[in-house]
Amino acid sequence: MTLGKEIDGKAFAAGLRGRIADIVPGFVAQKGRKPGLAVVLVGEDPASSVYVRSKGKATVEVGMESLEFKRPAMISQEELIELVEELNADDSVDGILVQLPLPKHLDDAAVIATIDPAKDVDGFHVVNAGKLAVGDPTALVPCTPLGCLMLLKDELGDLSGKEAVVIGRSNIVGKPMAQLLLGESCTVTIAHSRTHDIASVVHRADIVVAAVGRPEMVKGSWIKPGATVIDVGINRVPAEEEGKTKIVGDVATAEAINHVAAITPVPGGVGPMTIAVLLRNTLVAAHVRAGLPVPE
Ligand code: NDP
């Protein structure tokens, strides 16, 4: 049996960052300033700190301004909302990202709701979620699902009429992913923890997007031969070597590779796309706010 292809998200993301870096100087020439991305980090969570550092580095590498706002875990809801309001009012800030999850005493939804939707480069504000739902092209779309869609279109071209199954219904991945696929005229099914006989639901799909958070849950035998699979999952599990860990996705790739036409590896598939799309969303927000035509 021939093995399916691995989709190289790392290379695609590098290409996207390169295209963004080519566009930034034109913005700077017209507006006399760089597009600016403000990232707010509350507390010392190690994983969040790593994400924020990588975002800052990638922002600077494409020629944009990275502004980091680190606040102690003890910050009050009022103080955090005040910070977001200051960033809303700051004209040099085009994108605002509040790194989630926030410490327990803070209300994620209330903080996100405070972000100016025009600067909501994570696409989590209800205004942007609503725009995506009604097919408004000015929506800022959550980075991970938009990155998945870019990889799918690059791999398959026109998605119209394809059967797509999205596993997971979170507001940050599953639901926006389903909306995006519907926007491409796929026939979309959303599976979740209450779905009966998920194996046969997945088996009818030409496109499978797994966003569950359960290591290698999707078995090779679930996949229709020739399907394209996007594995969003990032799960840390014990490695073969004693005391070490490794990252695996939501799909049992070693089995699935015998069934699929193409699949994203973990790591190196969807992961690198998320930050690249964040930069793309910041570039788009900067152009829209400046009244400039949105770059392709
Ligand atoms: P959530 O925990 O918010 O959502 C998980 C979804 O999976 C829920 O809708 C849940 O269903 C569903 N689910 C859980 N168990 C099962 C099951 N046994 N069968 C079917 N469905 C199930 O996770 P996220 O959407 O935030 O993230 C999903 C994965 O993607 C995680 O591994 C996360 O680390 C990864 N991720 C990766 C990113 C990247 O950049 N590559 C970015 C964001 C996330 P129900 O609603 O019924 O509970």
Provide the pLDDT for residue 51: 93
- C-alpha of 162 from chain center: 22
Residues 197, 223 contacting (CB under 8 angstroms): no
Pairing of strands 163-167, 187-191: parallel
Evaluate: CB of 123 within 6 angstroms of ligand 1: no
Query: Mean pLDDT across the chain, nearest whole number?
Result: 97
Evaluate: CB of 171 within 6 angstroms of ligand 1: no
pLDDT < 50 positions in the chain: none
Provide the pLDDT for residue 1: 61
Provide the pLDDT for residue 296: 80
Q: How far apart are CA 211 and CA 217, in angstroms?
A: 10
C-alpha of residue 232 to centroid of ligand 1, in Å = 8
For the stretch 9-39, pLDDT in tens is 999 999 999 999 999 999 999 999 999 999 9
Atom of ligand 1 nearest to the CA of 269: 41
> Is 99 known to be catalytic?
yes
Residue 54 assigned ligand-binding role: no
The residue type of 44 is E
Evaluate: CB of 54 within 6 angstroms of ligand 1: no
- In percent, how much of the chain has pLDDT > 70? 100
Tell me whether 0.90 is exceeded by the ipTM: yes
Spell out the domains of the chain, with CATH numbers in brackets. 28-120+273-296 (3.40.50.10860), 143-265 (3.40.50.720)
